[in-house]
Structure 1
Amino acid sequence: MSRSTDAQSPRFRVRPPTNWMNDPNGPFRWGGRYHLFYQHNPDAPVHANIHWGHASSPDLAHWDDHGIALRPIPGGPDEAGCWSGCVVDDGGVPTAVYSGIDHDHQGLSTICLAVAEDDGLEEWKQLPVPVVAGPPPGMDVTMFRDPFVFRFAGRRWALVGAGHADGTPSVLVYDCEDLYAWRFAGVLLDGRDPAAARAFGTRAIGWECPQMWETARGDWVLAVALWDGDPLNTAYLTGHLLEEGDGALRFGVGTGGPLDLGRDFYAPSVLQDMESGRALLWGWSWESRPREGVDRAGWSGVLTAPRVVDTHEDGTLRVVPAAELELLRAAVPFTATPGPHWPLPLSYDLLVTARSAATLSLLRAASGGELTVRLDPGSGTVTLNRTAWPRSRPDGTAPLVLPTPRGETVTVRILVDGSLLELFAGDRAMATERVYRRDDDVPELAVSGRDVEVTGWALVPPSPA
């Protein structure tokens, strides 16, 4: 199937051929391939009529589109939309666990199951009766969605994102060792927890898309999308899981903070990949251009590149791009030095190391404004300045500052694919931004600084495995 393309189109990240995409769902490894599902409207580039789209890859670099996996069933619990969820191996049967909504849902979903009927995960049987019909009674829950299933203490558990009538967000937890018989096991965490308030802030009235995974260091990480009536941003907490005598789980919180510091990242989704021993993270990057630009292009939304997430000794998140992304690099790199201007393609991968303050310019506007990344080891900062590219979302244009350890050599990775820019400040911070090139913008690399090394690669389609 051909893709709708324009000058802003990412070519190497997961998105449907046309129309709407939002949350990544159910990353899953099966039959020697990575499978990734996502929220999708196959009829228009607007958030409505939500299905599950499906893509798969042998190597996290080359992705094949498989069309629709789940679709709303008239008269079923998902008749108004198949919303976010996950995919698990249930005794050798790949099973989707997702939010189903009817036309009167008012923010409350049911939890539905669908079972794969082929090894390629292209044919699914959606079960007509939900396994959870709604939120637990007596808790004044006004938002209930996005189940995520994981294993702990030899059992299977599920998280569900929630919000309550008094404005308190929470993550609910269920025992679902039997996927067809769920038991409510309490509130894992809510917004009244002081550590959660410090890490997540107090604006959110609901926590969406809860994800939980164990890192290689043995820490547990909880990531959520913060919702204040609209998508706000994302955050994480690290700590320890505890099973209590009453059959409930509790999360002993350590530290946390923003998950992605950019303005265009939401709905985290994690694969705990047991084969490789790592956790892989994707997010949804929404459109920040005017509605008429989206309509003209015929597509909306893209998923980020896969990121490997772990923790540092202090409990803070460690995040780097998946190594497989190097498969997209052209065979011959280029080395940029201070002074000359180097033309840049629509999609590229830059690796930058600075031992003293240095600045990269990536895009130049006709007005003279520049898209720049400044590395400053002395102050422990990496600063992205994109003020010359205004946007439709009302969230400011001030330069974005990413923290790094002060006084050390700073290494930055910059992944650009069309309008999608992903910036990694060492392994300490990441930012996802959308930057829309205008016809008279000049994409070129200029480097300034005394002690800086820049190596770049154009991105090229990989050979299918």
Structure 2
Amino acid sequence: MNDPNGPFHRRGRYHLFYQYNPAAPVHANIHWGHASSADLVRWDHHPVALTPTPGGPDEAGCWSGCVVDDGGVPTAVYSGIDREHTGLSSICLAVAEDDDLIEWKPVPAPVLTGPPPGSGVTMFRDPFVFRFGGRRWALVGAGHADGTPSVLVYDCEDLYAWRFAGVLLDGRHPVAARTAAGRSAPPGSATTGWECPQLWQTPGGDWVLAVALWDGDPCSTAYLTGLLALDRSGTLSFSPRTGGPLDHGRDFYAPSAFQHTEADRALLWGWSWEARPQEDVDRAGWAGVLTAPRVVDVHPDGTLRVTPAPELDLLRAAGPFGTGPLPDAYDLEIAARSPGTVGLLRSAAGAELTLRLDPAAGTVVLDRSEWPRARPGGSGPLVLRTRPGAELAVRVLVDGSLLELFAGDRATATERVYRRPDDVAELVVCQGDIQVRGWELVRPSPV
């Protein structure tokens, strides 16, 4: 599995779709998998929702997109690629044929077969549909021949008739250039682009634009906060005031956001890819996980506020634990009032996976350097920054190889850390005034 797609809420259940290869743990043959939940922790798997159509516009894959309510009809809006796509997708639709969103019927003809002629767009994919100013709009991630990433915008009040409405934002904007640049494109790559654009409004009125940075390969993610406006001519614009990494770790990509209006909050999921060798993936027989759901909001200074969804507390076992052996899946709450170190994992050679906490500096340092990975990415300590203060609050969610780290509510990092047979998982507090409470994560009882 890879990108989360189309989070949707209907009749008391959250529905989450995801790119899925039902045949092998390799990045190909993309369908849409489907799961649903009443509470974000007890999930039911459903049959595959979208399947490539032989000879159709999605014959080489049903790729990223969203699900919207079109006059009471749940409708998937997604990237379809054919055998000759060369980086450009069609925008395809499929409609749900039942209330549980189990059966889907593809619309034979795409609503768009590619970017506007003459636009210089060489990467075009991942539609995201939202409402603003009394109308329905769609974003599409794009990259241009000159290496400029952008987000295109369409008027799609009629979901079956899209009108190009310009560029919402591109990488030349000073704030975007500073906060959403990613790495420079490697020699010989066709373009640099923004994938998986997501847009939502916070309870305070700010708008957040999240993008995945692509430079010939998936790179990282970024967010920008600012104001969305519609002028008298009908032109939609986004004016960012700040931004930064959406996640600071090496293993988070393809964000998917859901603005749950009834609950007055926005939820966010990401894809965490495999960082181990392909032979290990083949031996395991599976690849890819989704992160835990996160609640995303904005601080008064425009920076992102991110916390684990409170429903995740339902996964905690009845009683908390302290220092000592760690289970395969756990949830830690750490409060540091002075500098110190928390150890999580120790190798046979004595190397440690640690968190170094400094409340006065407002820093959390994750040292993961002794746990090798096959996927490219820096191996040195990772520094997360939050507000300096008398106490530093940290949350750690671990599920097997997936580690999600929350420094206060201002910085997150997603990492894959694969335990070796002789590694020892043990919670150790070294120095400092540090309090830790932990819970084993267990499958909750059925409701």
Work out whether the TM-score is over 0.5. yes
Q: Distance in 2 between matches of 1:227 and 1:248?
A: 27
Letter in 1 for 2:33: G
Deviations along 1:340-371, one digit per CA (max 9) or x if unpaired, are xx010000000000111121100110010001
Q: Which amino acid aligns with 1:271?
A: F
Q: CA RMSD in A?
A: 0.9
| Alignment partner, residue 135 of structure 2 | 155
Please list every run of 5 or more consecutive structure 2 residues that lacks an aligned counterpart in the other structure.
186-191
Question: Is 1:257 the equivalent of 2:244?
Answer: yes
Equivalent positions of 1:290-305 (< 5 A) are: 290-305=277-292
The one-letter code sitting in structure 1 at the alignment partner of 2:362 is G
CA contact (8 A) 2:153 2:168 kept: yes
Q: Distance in 2 between matches of 1:408 and 1:107?
A: 50
Bigger CA drift: 177-186 or 193-202? Answer: 193-202
Asked if 1:144 corresponds to 2:131, the answer is no
Alignment partner of 1:59 is 2:46? no
Q: Which amino acid aligns with 1:62?
A: R
Does the alignment pair 1:111 with 2:91? Answer: yes
Paired residue type of 1:403: R
Partner residue, 1:181: 161
- AA aligned to 1:196 is A
**Paired residue type of 1:115:** V
Aligned mates of 2:279, 2:238 — CA distance in 1:
45
Equivalence for 1:325: 312
SS at match of 1:275: helix
Q: Report the alpha carbon displacement of residue 388 of structure 1 after superposing the two structures with TM.
A: 1.0
- Measure, in 2, the Cα distance between the counterparts of 1:35 and 1:418: 24
Q: Distance between the aligned counterparts of 2:297 and 2:136, measured in 1?
A: 22
1:404: which partner in 2? 386
Compute the displacement of 1:217 (Å): 1.1
Equivalent-residue separation in structure 1 for 2:446 and 2:228 (angstroms): 40
Q: Find out whether 1:277 has 2:277 as its counterpart.
A: no
The equivalent of 1:425 in structure 2 is 407
- Match of residue 445 from structure 1: 427
Matches of 2:118 and 2:390, distance apart in 1: 53
Letter paired with 1:394: P
> 2:386 touches 2:411 (CA, 8 Å); kept in 1?
yes
Q: Quote the offset at 1:67 in angstroms.
A: 2.8
2:363 to 375, 378, 381: 381
Deviations for 1:108-132, whole angstroms, at most 9, x for unmatched residues?
0010110001111110000110011
**Pairing of 1:326-345 with structure 2 (within 5 A):** 326-336=313-323, 342-345=324-327
Distance in structure 2 (CA, Å) of the matches to 1:464 and 1:176: 40
2:296 alignment partner, one of 288, 291, 309: 309
Question: Which residue does the alignment assign to 1:230?
Answer: 217
Tell me the SS of whatever aligns to 1:388: coil
Count of residue pairs the alignment pairs up: 440
Correspondence for 1:16:
none
Aligned counterparts of 1:331 and 1:91: Cα–Cα separation in 2: 44
Question: Shift of the alpha carbon at 1:154?
Answer: 1.4
Cα shift at 1:450: 3.2
CA contact (8 A) 2:181 2:213 kept: no
Structure 1 segment 6-155 matched on structure 2, within 5 A: 21-155=1-135
Hey, what's the Cα distance between the residues in 2 that align with 1:464 and 1:414?
A: 25
The whole-number CA distance in structure 1 between the counterparts of 2:445 and 2:340 is: 36
**Superposition deviation, residue 248 in structure 1:** 1.8
Match of 1:268 in 2: 255
Residue-by-residue CA offset, 1:273-312 (whole Å, 9 max, x unaligned)? 0121100000000000011100000000000000000000
Q: Residue 430 of structure 1 aligns to which amino acid in structure 2?
A: T
1:360 aligns with 2:347: no
TM superposition score normalised by structure 2: 0.97
The answer (yes or no) to whether the contact 2:194–2:214 under 8 Å persists in 1 is: yes
CA distance in 2 between partners of 1:240 and 1:367 (Å): 52
| 1:459 maps onto 2:446 in alignment | no
In the aligned structure 2, how far is the partner of 1:233 from the partner of 1:116?
Answer: 32
In the alignment, what sits opposite 2:417?
435
Aligned letter for 1:358?
G
Partner secondary structure for residue 443 of structure 1: strand
The match for 1:219 among 206, 219, 222 is: 206
Residues of 2 paired with 1:191 and 1:351: CA distance? 38
| Inter-partner Cα distance in structure 1 for 2:223 and 2:47 | 32
Select the residue among 176, 186, 197 that pairs with 1:210: 197
- 1:335 is displaced (CA, Å) by 3.1
| Residue identity in the other structure for 2:81 | I
The higher-RCO structure (CA 8 Å, 6+ apart) is 1
Shift of 1:449: 2.7
1:393-452 per-residue CA deviation (whole Å, 9 max, x = no partner) reads 121210000001123310000000000000000100000000000000001110123321
Amino acid at match of 1:96: A
